[in-house]
């Protein structure tokens, strides 16, 4: 068995840059959108087989400290990003990840994020519970 040399593995930025370049609708390349479709299809297969009908959506923003020159400051004072993530508690599945610049408040767009997660649920499956921190407090009261 051959071990992979660390120099043979591309840096995460390299993979991300390649996916963004491949996301040109003019050339028919799907890039990150294609990767999103793959994730959705895999999630659908997992959820179809798990025997559950109702799930808890665990939604939270995650601070990622970045060294890029164009990274913006987070509310913690670090340069980086604040992606929003939506996981199902019962099954370790990420329904949705939304890239956000560092200066985007975690409370921004909570309701819209929930609705996008809800749309990703397969037929016969539903989000029955919502778990979030204080950033989602105001949005949760208006979700239907």
Number of domains in the chain: 2
pLDDT by residue (tens digit) across 83-142?
A: 999 999 999 899 999 989 999 988 899 999 999 999 999 999 999 999 988 777 754 455
Q: Spell 116-132 as b/e; 16+ CB within 10 A means b.
A: ebbebbeeebebeebeb
Same domain for 81 and 64, yes or no, is yes
Beta strand 54-61 with 126-131 is parallel
Asked if residue 3 is part of any domain, the answer here is no
Does residue 77 lie within any of the structural domains?
A: yes
Same domain, 71 and 43: no
Residues 45-70: pLDDT tens digits?
A: 999 999 999 999 999 999 999 888 88
**pLDDT for the residue numbered 126:** 95
What does pTM read for this prediction? 0.74
- Of the pLDDT bands very low, low, confident and very high (cuts 50, 70, 90), residue 2 is low
Which carries the bigger pLDDT value, residue 69 or residue 10? 69
Contact 45, 56 (CB under 8 A): no
* CA pair distance 141, 111, nearest whole angstrom: 9
Task: Compute how many other C-beta atoms are within 10 angstroms of the C-beta atom of residue 94.
Answer: 13
Same domain for 57 and 93?
A: yes
Specify the higher pLDDT residue, 91 or 143: 91
Same-domain check for residues 66 and 40: no
Domain region containing 68: 53-144
Same domain, 92 and 143: yes
Provide the 8-state DSSP code for 24.
-
Give kind and range of the element (H or E) at residue 43.
helix 31-49
Q: Is residue 4 in some structural domain? A: no
Whether residue 5 is contained in a domain is answered as no
The tokens describing 117, both together, are: 């997660």
Q: Are residues 27 and 96 in the same domain?
A: no
Tell me, yes or no, whether 42 and 57 share the same domain: no
Same domain, 41 and 62: no
Q: Alpha carbon of 104 to those of 61, 72, 76, 89: distances in Å? A: 10, 9, 12, 25
Q: Is the same domain home to 30 and 61?
A: no
Which residue is listed with tokens 């071990």?
A: 3
Q: Is the CB of residue 23 less than 8 Å from the CB of residue 31?
A: yes
């Amino acid at each position: 068995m051959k071990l992979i040399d660390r120099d043979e593995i591309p840096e995460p930025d390299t993979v991300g840059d390649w996916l963004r370049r491949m996301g040109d609708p003019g050339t028919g390349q799907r890039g990150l959108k294609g990767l999103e479709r793959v994730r959705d299809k895999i999630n659908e297969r997992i959820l179809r087989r798990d025997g559950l009908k109702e799930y808890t959506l665990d939604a939270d923003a995650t601070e990622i400290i970045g060294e890029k020159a164009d990274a913006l400051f987070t509310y913690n004072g670090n340069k980086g990003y604040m992606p929003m993530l939506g996981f199902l508690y019962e099954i370790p599945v990420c329904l949705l990840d939304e890239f956000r610049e560092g200066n985007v408040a975690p409370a921004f767009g909570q309701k819209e994020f929930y609705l996008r997660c809800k749309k990703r649920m397969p037929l016969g499956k539903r989000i029955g519970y919502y778990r979030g921190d204080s950033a989602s407090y105001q949005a949760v009261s208006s979700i239907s």
